[in-house]
């Protein structure tokens, strides 16, 4: 039996983007030379050739040329910039190890080389953004648009129609829905998603005559025989047919397609920081975390001295928490209580808690007690933004009561998080409060973007200043 494989297709747009990136790298050499008032030398063109090869190889690692359908444009442009920033040290290292660095850049001035490193990503970003804009405008005007049909009148079909309608860059226009079920068994079609055109017989007829070129099947997974029947009949046409699995019956945390030896698989629960996203988040944590640590070093020293002078006990309190994938980590905090609970039973701080020291009350209201967690960020056990880590005792308690509770540990815990800036900071004295916090944690994992992290960090400032639920 021949081995079955599912291949990733390369579109003309994909080829165009590769050509555009190549033009950006080479064109930046000429642009910098023109700006300096000199001619581009053979060394400059050799450096550009090395840049194109290096960029193409790094792009395969960062996934720059994967499909960006359904992903915001800023993430694509960010990936493009990070790919080039990763290419530069690779070029320098290879040139140094092979002793070819001088022969490649020999006649280029230092200013020219530096200018090339800066101008190349800017030019590539400009060209890529322009191509996307032109494509968007042309397809919005109806150019290069293809009609598609949906088999299955159901919520998944409605969602698919809306997704495609909101993505004019796909160049698709809905013909209508097709379903064999009688009208009394069909859900009502929303007014914004089109209408029913006919049954499957009608679809087959239009597919065979070439009236329908693209068909999406959104029948439920349990309807295997119906799907096979439709596919068997469509095999007599030349239409492009796609099966859209109803994975929405599951609670998707973070999903992506992959393959194992040619067999397709889709993730249901997965860490969203895959590939370049993980690299970007870690770099931001290291850079911003280090800057904050330097800026706050003196205030932290003052707080440490005050903790030591105002109450008996250690300056720092290290509590066991669950980290990435539920692995144990030790979270740093300034001690704010007269006790250091770290066992199977941990009592949450409450309003006017007698265990909180006078200084500790101030530290907790201002969240200054959390500053030592910057050490956790630098070492890699935590992130600046992510689900707040709970005491292990609370993890074991709530994982039995809240479905999907442990999924919050698919990412690193954070110093601040979406739940904290959404009003669910502080004591969780009811199950409902913890459920709301977990819902926010899941939403963060599903919808993560670098821009979301930035917004949470800014909102954290106002949350801390409001002192809401902080005690």
| DSSP state letter for 469 | T
Three-state SS at 380: coil
Can you give the pLDDT at residue 2? 43
324 located within any domain: yes
Crossing angle of helices 73-97 and 110-140, rounded to 10°: 150
Q: What angle do CA 141, 238, 199 make, to 5 degrees?
A: 80
Give the integer Cα–Cα distance in Å for 160 and 226.
19
Three-state SS at 243: strand
CA 410 to chain centre: 13
Provide the phi-psi class of 404: left if phi over 0, else alpha when psi is between -120 and 50, else beta: left
Can you give the pLDDT at residue 260? 63
**Contact by Cβ (8 Å): 303, 334:** yes
Indicate whether 21 and 43 sit together in one domain: yes
| DSSP state letter for 221 | T
Token pair in block for residue 282: 């870690």
268 located within any domain: no
Indicate whether 88 and 187 sit together in one domain: no
| DSSP state letter for 188 | P
Give the integer Cα–Cα distance in Å for 274 and 63.
10
265 located within any domain: no
The total domain count for the chain is 3
Indicate whether 123 and 185 sit together in one domain: no
Give the integer Cα–Cα distance in Å for 149 and 230.
13
Helices (H), 322-404: 358-366, 373-379, 392-398
Give the integer Cα–Cα distance in Å for 197 and 379.
59
Indicate whether 462 and 321 sit together in one domain: yes
Task: Single out the residue in 114, 140, 166 at which a domain terminates.
Answer: 140
257 located within any domain: no
Can you give the pLDDT at residue 344? 57
- Residue 166 CB partners (closer than 8 Å, separation 6+): none
| DSSP state letter for 260 | E
Give the integer Cα–Cα distance in Å for 137 and 12.
17
146-151 and 214-217: which strand pairing?
parallel
Indicate whether 123 and 163 sit together in one domain: no
Helices (H) and strands (E) in the chain, counts: 16, 11
Helices (H), 275-337: 276-295, 297-310
Burial class (CB in 10 A: 0-12, 13-18, 19+), 365: middle
Indicate whether 73 and 26 sit together in one domain: yes
1 located within any domain: no
Q: What angle do CA 293, 298, 303 make, to 5 degrees?
A: 100
Where residue 234 sits, what CATH number does that domain have?
A: 3.40.50.720
Burial class (CB in 10 A: 0-12, 13-18, 19+), 387: buried
Q: What is the domain extent for residue 438?
A: 276-466
261 located within any domain: no
Task: Single out the residue in 140, 174, 194 at which a domain terminates.
Answer: 140
Three-state SS at 40: coil
Quickly count: other Cβ atoms within 10 Å of residue 224's Cβ. 10
Give the integer Cα–Cα distance in Å for 321 and 340.
14
Give the integer Cα–Cα distance in Å for 305 and 335.
12
Give the integer Cα–Cα distance in Å for 164 and 156.
12
224 located within any domain: yes
Quickly count: other Cβ atoms within 10 Å of residue 372's Cβ. 21
Task: Single out the residue in 119, 140, 161 at which a domain terminates.
Answer: 140
Indicate whether 61 and 154 sit together in one domain: no
Indicate whether 35 and 100 sit together in one domain: yes
- Residue 335 CB partners (closer than 8 Å, separation 6+): 307, 311, 313, 314, 315, 316, 317, 360, 369
258 located within any domain: no
Indicate whether 211 and 327 sit together in one domain: no
Indicate whether 304 and 342 sit together in one domain: yes
Can you give the pLDDT at residue 240? 86
Indicate whether 290 and 364 sit together in one domain: yes
Indicate whether 104 and 65 sit together in one domain: yes
- Taking only the tens of pLDDT, the chain with its 471 residues reads 344 444 444 456 677 788 888 888 888 888 887 887 766 666 667 777 888 888 888 887 777 777 665 556 677 778 888 888 888 887 777 666 555 555 545 455 667 778 878 888 888 888 888 877 877 777 667 666 778 899 999 888 998 888 888 776 677 888 999 998 888 888 888 888 888 888 999 999 888 888 888 899 998 878 888 889 888 888 888 788 888 887 665 666 666 666 566 666 666 677 777 766 788 888 889 999 999 999 999 999 998 999 888 888 888 888 888 998 888 899 988 888 776 655 555 555 556 666 778 887 888 888 888 899 999 999 999 999 999 998 888 888 888 888 888 888 889 999 999 998 888 776 677 888 889 999 999 889 888 888 889 899 989 888 877 666 554
**Contact by Cβ (8 Å): 401, 432:** no
Give the integer Cα–Cα distance in Å for 357 and 362.
9
Quick: pLDDT tens for 154-206: 888 998 888 888 776 677 888 999 998 888 888 888 888 888 888 999 999 88
Closest CA to 31 of 123, 156, 146: 123
**Contact by Cβ (8 Å): 68, 74:** no
Token pair in block for residue 450: 């670098």
Give the integer Cα–Cα distance in Å for 55 and 28.
14
Q: Report the b/e string of 238-277 with b at 16+ CB within 10 A.
A: ebebeebebeeeeeebbeeeeeeeeeeeebeebbbbeebb
For residue 94, the surrounding DSSP H or E stretch is helix 73-97
């Amino acid at each position: 039996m021949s081995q079955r494989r599912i291949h990733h297709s390369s579109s003309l747009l994909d080829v165009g983007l590769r050509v555009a990136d190549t033009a950006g790298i080479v064109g930046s050499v000429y642009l910098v030379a023109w700006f300096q008032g000199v001619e581009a030398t053979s060394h400059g063109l050799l450096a550009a050739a090395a840049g194109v090869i290096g960029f193409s190889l790094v792009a395969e690692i960062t996934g720059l040329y994967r499909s960006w359908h359904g992903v915001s444009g800023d993430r694509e442009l960010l990936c493009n910039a990070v790919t080039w920033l990763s290419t530069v040290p690779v070029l320098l290292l290879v040139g140094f190890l092979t002793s070819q660095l001088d022969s490649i850049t020999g006649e280029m001035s230092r200013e020219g080389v530096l200018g090339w490193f800066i101008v190349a990503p800017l030019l590539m970003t400009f060209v890529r953004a322009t191509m996307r804009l032109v494509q968007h405008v042309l397809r919005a005007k109806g150019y290069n648009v293809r009609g598609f049909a949906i088999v299955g009148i159901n919520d998944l079909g409605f969602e698919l129609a809306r997704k495609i309608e909101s993505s004019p860059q796909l160049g698709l226009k809905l013909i209508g829905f097709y379903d064999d079920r009688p009208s009394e068994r069909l859900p009502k079609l929303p007014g914004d998603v089109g209408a029913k055109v006919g049954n499957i017989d009608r679809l087959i007829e239009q597919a065979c005559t070439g009236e329908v070129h693209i068909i999406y099947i959104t029948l439920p997974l349990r309807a295997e025989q119906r799907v096979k029947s439709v596919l068997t009949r469509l095999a007599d046409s030349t239409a492009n047919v796609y099966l859209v699995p109803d994975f929405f019956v599951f609670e998707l945390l973070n999903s992506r397609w992959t393959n194992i030896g040619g067999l397709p698989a889709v993730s249901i629960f997965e860490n969203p920081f895959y590939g370049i996203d993980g690299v970007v988040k870690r770099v931001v944590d290291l850079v911003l975390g280090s800057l904050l640590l330097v800026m706050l070093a003196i205030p932290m020293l003052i707080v440490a001295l005050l903790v030591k002078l105002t109450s008996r006990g250690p300056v720092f309190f290290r509590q066991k928490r669950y980290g990435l994938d539920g692995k144990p980590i030790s979270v740093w905090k300034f001690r704010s209580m007269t006790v250091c609970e770290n066992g199977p039973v941990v009592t949450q701080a409450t309003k006017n808690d007698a265990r909180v020291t006078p200084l500790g009350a101030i530290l907790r209201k201002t969240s200054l007690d959390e500053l030592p967690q910057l050490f956790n960020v630098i070492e890699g056990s935590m992130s600046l933004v992510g689900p707040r880590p709970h005491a292990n005792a609370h993890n074991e308690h709530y994982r039995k009561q809240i479905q999907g509770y442990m999924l919050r540990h698919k990412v690193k815990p954070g110093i601040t998080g979406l739940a904290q800036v959404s009003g669910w900071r502080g004591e969780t004295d009811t199950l409902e409060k913890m459920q709301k916090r977990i819902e926010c944690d899941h939403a963060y994992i599903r919808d993560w973007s670098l821009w979301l992290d930035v917004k949470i960090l800014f909102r954290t400032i106002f949350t801390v200043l409001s002192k809401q639920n902080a005690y």
